[in-house]
Amino acid sequence: MIDQSLLTRTLEEATKRGGGFAEVFVEDRLSSGAHLDDDRIEELSSGRSRGAGIRVIIGESTGFAHTADLSEQGLATAARAAGDAARGGTGGVTTVELIAQQAHAPNQIGVFPSEVAKARKVELLELANDAARGAGPAIAQVSVGYGDVRRQIQIANSDGLLIGDDQVKTRFSVSCVAQGDAGMQTGRESIGHSFGFEMFDRYDVTDIARTAAERAITKLSARPAPSGAVTTVIGKGGGGVLFHEACGHGLEADLVAKSATVFAGRIGEQVASPLVTLIDDGTMGGEWGCFAIDDEGRPAQRNVLIEDGVLLDFMWDELRARAEGRPSSGNGRRQSYKHLPMVRMTNTYIANGETAPDDIISDTDSGIFVSQLGGGQVNTVTGDFVFGMTEAYLIENGEITEPIREGNLIGNGPEVLMSIDALGNDFAMGSPGTCGKDCQGVPVGDGTPTLRVPSLTVGGTAA
Amino acid sequence: MSMVDELLALGDRIVGRAQNGEQIEAIVVNERDTEVRVYDGDVEQFTSATSQGIGIRVIKDQRQGFAWAGTLDPDIIDSTLAEARDNATFGSVDPDLALAEPDGVPMADLDLYDDSVANYSTEDKIALALEVEAIAKAGDPRVVVVEATDFADSISEAAVVTTTGIRVGGRESGSYVSAVVIAGGDDETQIGFGYSVDRDPAKLDREKAATMAVERSVRLLGAQKPQTGRFTVVLDPMVTAQFIGIIGSTLSGESVLKQRSLFADRLGEQVAAASLTLVDDPTDPRAFTAGEADGEGLATRRNLLIDGGVLSTFVHNSYTGRRLGGASTGNAVRGFTSTPGVGTIALSLAPGQRQQAEMIADIDDGVLIQGVSGLHSGVNPVSGDFSTGADGLRICNGELAEPLREFTIGSTLQRMLLDVIEVGADLEWLPSSAAGLSLVIGDVTVSGA
């Protein structure tokens, strides 16, 4: 990456206009992908992106500039641009003394994907394609994707911090189309971890393919989803996105500071059912949303946000934490060196409960069982959220019965949190996700045990 | 040498490395952006940046490979080209793989670049954002805070050069201002977004951006959940734009080719109400996404997708066109980090005769849909299942009544097209790849309480 003396000179250049805080974020990202569709390896793709983002904070004002030119001159130009852009500096010279640190718990990477033969990646795609097509004659189309990214980062700031991280993520996904008498249905399954290629020692890609294929085939016989308010049981793993949307975003300190969330000013209050303990944990080894240090150089942390229903804390980045005179919680993240960091989730999950999941189903007279949720969206100001059901069934007389077609579920975050009335003991993490906020996407994980919400609105078409 | 000429020259150098029997395509991009965010009368963030990149596609022995790099550094070109070549050895053999070739369709002459962006001073950008924030703050006593007011502009240049004789470059500029307003009372808050877009920042409509954000935040205060039932709905222009964007995605040649389009076998059939005509026309200079060339360097053109309710064409890049026995319709879409996909670029519906208020006057019991959420999760463009979160206003005896929120609207894409009752006259070009207008659709399931 960049040597210490050049980082020091860059930081001093950035603070020449005066005071405040300056930071250099350097990133070198190598990615590779392979895609099979329609029985063909369409292409392999490789990408390289390298550059630095420099920010200068004076008071409440942040100046930011980024450059792909990592030469002394390129960095100095960006540093001046960031310094000029931060308004209200008083002038003067800031001396920066960088002290190099090591991340406490560096990421453990077994096999760097760049060292794996491309032919091996292609072979995984073909194995998955064959397995999905073998799942049944209804499978009309299969698409398989493999991707890996290695992201080396380096962060230096005017407080003297100098630290780096080497982050590797690998993902694999299968999407199927099943053709039936009444049209087409889709099924998808994906895995993603902060592992190297050793991820495939833990997962058999043919299992992933069959899961995706079976989802599509099952839905061919699905009935239209009901519409209106229904009791909803959400299966283990599949429902973490609910909490990511329903309350995670509302607990981000940058939104709290602008009163743009329903949870502002409610620390210490009962904001959820006593069953609910919500944790955001960037340290969960190997999970999709984990890292050794965040994109501001702070170590990843396990943060208990809600304990037994009581709101304990928000999530913080450096900027918001400084304003409140407290430490960052290790939630300062950015999509790339071209972006400013902001408060972001890592792996967000509901801790295990005590009830056997079968008991939750048998205790439910009528409703729906959602075993997999798709993406979602929240209005943090009102708490209203929406998310898609990609695999769901009816519950009739305490039993899971027929599959239902796709639709959105909507509800209000604070109301849903308060109303959860059963929590299973079968915690699992869900599928890897990309969280979008302010046009930046970052990898996040989520998880839940089986749980029940007495009333959510299902947006089906059956009257 | 202008920046576009420099990009073309770089493309020439890459393509010039082609070996025997090898096709090479280079896409080269350069972009300069600034972004100002103001909050509470002060600059909160100011970003200035230059982004550059190259993407190289290699086709050899009927196999394709791709590589990209986020720099124009000449040293990186060799390694990127080598990587693309190596990747090509792993692709499946496909006799239809080939780069686009010049097809004789003339390039439209659109005025997509305005020098005013380059000359607009930093002070003016900040002043503009501050002015919008001030207008929004004063817009209504119920405004609690203006959460963010952003000004952004960009100048971008791009070039596509191939061994098959494509050599196209161009530049464009744009600017926008937006505001996010939070309005509320004691126990309730609502959020609203407003914007204005123009190639010339001096022409941005400050009043409109601020007022729109204020109106969209206050109009939902006091909103209730509606009863569940089937209603006639009126989609606001912004919602219609999102709806036809999804319809457009089902008409991509790639979806058709790969058996993922619910309209695959239906060319020439009545798929929508007779009042519905859907056009994709990137040569219309009013479109936010207007452009002279597509992602493969072919001229963009006007394509009539649905004509009086009859499905008349799919959109193609050169590969899907060839595979399906036709030619490219100029609809290759891409950035420099990927090979060309297929997509609509600038959609619009042919406007009808009446304004929104006149159409609403004919509806006894319905819902005006002002916003939708969860489109990416609740709409399946393969099966056609459609379900989204929504907010809006009740329509009662031909007039707008109480605000509604926290409900969904559900149907299927197939049915919604056929259930279109009327297309509005209020065509509006939005900062998206589709224009909007008011659209009346019957028999939609509204799920609330």
Q: What is the pLDDT of residues A254-266, one digit of tens each?
A: 998 887 888 989 9
Q: In this structure, are residues B68 and B53 in contact, taking their beta carbons and an 8 Å threshold?
A: yes
| E strand intervals along B62-188 | 63-69, 143-162, 167-184
Q: Give one DSSP letter per residue of B1-33, joined into a string.
A: --HHHHHHHHHHHHHTT--TTEEEEEEEEEEEE
Tokens of B241: 């734009």
Domain B3-218 fold: PmbA/TldD fold (3.30.2290)
A64 and chain B in contact, CB less than 8 A: yes
pLDDT of residue A93: 56
**A145/A150 Cα distance (integer angstroms):** 17
Residue B302 has what pLDDT? 98
Smallest Cα distance from B443 to chain A, Å: 10
C-alpha closest to that of A270 among A378, A416, A379, A417: A417
CB contact under 8 A, A407 and B411: no
Lowest mean pLDDT among A59-68, A420-429, B282-291: A59-68
Nearest to B127 by CA among B27, B202, B219: B202
Q: What is the CATH number of domain A4-220?
A: 3.30.2290.10
E-assigned strand segments in B308-398: 310-311, 332-333, 341-342, 347-349, 365-373, 385-396
Strands B347-349 and B189-198, by their bridges, are unpaired
Q: How confident is the model at residue B9 (pLDDT cuts 50, 70, 90)?
A: very high
Query: pTM for the full model?
Result: 0.92
CA–CA dist A316, A326 (Å, integer): 9
Q: How far apart are CA B355 and CA B362, in angstroms?
A: 12
Distance CA A315, CA A322 (A): 13
Residue A268 burial (CB count, 10 A): 8
ipTM for the complex shown: 0.90
pLDDT of residue B48: 86
pLDDT at res. A90? 52
Sign of CA pseudo-dihedral A194, A334, A188, A388: positive
Q: Which helix (H) or strand (E) holds A374?
A: strand A366-378
Q: Is A120 on the interface with B (CB under 8 A)?
A: no
**Per the structure block, which two tokens stand in for B169?**
């470059």
Residues of B in contact with A122 (CB under 8 A): 90
- Interface probe, candidates A385, A386, A390, chain B, greatest B C-beta count within 10 A: A386
Q: Do B48 and A81 touch (CB under 8 A)?
A: yes
- Six token digits for residue A357: 């999941």
Joined together, the tokens standing for residue B237 give: 């222009």
- Could you give phi then psi for residue B381, rounded to 5 degrees? -70, -10
Question: Looking at this protein, which amino acid is placed at residue A66?
Answer: H
Nearest by CB: B145 against A183, A259, A340 = A259
Query: What is residue A107's three-state secondary structure?
Result: coil
Q: Find where tokens 């310094």 sit.
A: A83
Our separate counts of H helices and E strands in chain A read 10, 23
Over residues A173-214, the pLDDT tens digits come to 999 999 998 889 999 999 999 999 999 999 999 999 999 999
Count other C-beta atoms under 10 Å from residue A90's C-beta.
9
Chain A nearest-CA residue for B87: A44
Mean pLDDT of chain A: 92
Phi/psi at B385 (5° precision): -60, 135
Distance CA A350, CA A429 (A): 10
Q: Give span(s): CATH 3.30.2290.10, chain A.
A: 4-220
Angle separating helix axes B206-218 and B122-137, nearest 10 degrees: 30
Residue B436 DSSP symbol: B
Name beta bridge partners: A99: A161
Of residues A257 and A271, the one with the higher pLDDT is A271
pLDDT category of residue A94 using cuts at 50, 70 and 90 = low
Contact B441, B244 (CB under 8 A): no
Is the Cβ pair B80, A338 closer than 8 Å? no
Picking from A68, A184, A386, the nearest residue to B373 by CB comes out as: A386
Q: How far is A228 from chain B (nearest CA, A)?
A: 5
CB contact under 8 A, B66 and A457: no
* Pairwise CA distance, residues B226 & B215, whole Å: 21
Residue B76 contacts residue B58 (beta carbons within 8 Å): no
Q: Are A395 and A361 in contact (CB under 8 A)?
A: yes
- Mean pLDDT calculated for residue range A448-452: 96
Largest separation between any pair of C-alpha atoms in chain B? 74
B53 strand-pairing partners = B29
As given in the structure block, the two tokens for residue A362 are 């048998």
DSSP tag of A215? H
Asked if residue B161 lies in contact with residue B9, where contact means CB atoms within 8 angstroms, the answer is no
First to last CA, chain A: 61
Separation CA A319–CA A328 (nearest Å)? 8
Strand partners for A288: none
B-chain CB neighbours of A458 within 8 Å are: 408, 447
Nearest Cα to Cα of residue A177 among B380, B92, B252: B380
pLDDT digits (tens, 9 = 90+) for B111-165: 999 999 999 998 999 999 999 999 999 999 999 999 999 999 999 999 999 999 9
How far does the CA of residue B382 sit from the closest CA of chain A (Å)? Answer: 6
With beta carbons less than 8 A apart as the criterion, state whether A376 and A241 touch. yes
Residue B139 to residue B192: CA distance in whole angstroms: 12
- DSSP, collapsed to helix, strand or coil, labels residue A72 as helix
Q: Which two tokens stand for residue B351?
A: 């406007």
pLDDT of A442 strictly over 60: yes
Where residue A269 falls among pLDDT bands split at 50, 70, 90?
A: very high
Calculate mean pLDDT across residues A375-387.
Answer: 85
Residues of B in contact with A65 (CB under 8 A): 47-49
Distances (CA, A) of A29 to A154, B30, B53, B230, B368: 12, 19, 14, 51, 46
> How large is the angle between the packed helices A72-85 and A4-14, nearest 10 degrees?
30
- The reply to whether residue B339 touches residue A412, judged by beta carbons under 8 angstroms, is no
- The better pLDDT of the pair A86, B225 is held by B225
pLDDT digits (tens, 9 = 90+) for A4-33: 999 999 999 998 877 689 999 999 999 999
Per-residue pLDDT band for B50 (boundaries 50, 70, 90) equals confident
pLDDT mean over A112-140:
96
Residue B33 exposure: Cα atoms within 13 Å on the Cβ side: 19
Supply φ then ψ for residue A210, to 5 degrees. -65, -40
* Start and end residues for every CATH 3.30.2290.10 domain found in chain B: 3-218
pLDDT confidence of residue A463: 54
- Tell which A residues from 168 to 187 touch B, by Cβ distance under 8 Å: 177, 179, 183-186
Subunit contact B377:A374, Cβ cutoff 8 A: yes
Q: Which of B153, B143, B129 is nearest to B38 (CA)?
A: B129
Q: Which of A238, A190, A193, A227 is nearest to A211 (CA)?
A: A190
Nearest to B374 among A62, A258, A387 (CB): A387
What's the helix, strand, coil split of chain A in %, to 5? Answer: 20, 45, 35
Give A402-449 as a DSSP string: EEE--EEEEEEHHHHHHH--EEBS--EE---EEEEETTEEEEEEEEE-
Map residue B87 onto helix, strand or coil.
helix
Integer Cα distance of B445 and A139 in angstroms: 30
Tokens linked to B80 = 């990127």
Rounded distance between C-alpha atoms, residue A137 and residue B244, angstroms: 33
CB pairs under 8 A between A and B: 261
Q: Residue holding tokens 């501001």? A: A296
Q: Dihedral of CA A264/A268/A272/A276: which sign?
A: positive
Residue B309 CB: number of other CB atoms within 10 A?
Answer: 18
Confidence of residue A122 (pLDDT cuts 50, 70, 90): very high
Query: Phi and psi at residue A47, in whole multiples of 5°?
Result: -140, 150
Rounded-to-integer distance, Cα B394 and Cα B360, Å:
10
> Tokens representing A341?
């960091």
CB A338 within 8 A of CB B51: yes
CA distance A413 to A261: 11
What pLDDT digit, counting tens, does each position of B263-295 carry?
Answer: 999 999 999 999 999 999 999 999 999 999 999
pLDDT band, very low/low/confident/very high, at A439 (cuts 50, 70, 90) = confident
Element (H, E) at B246: helix B237-250
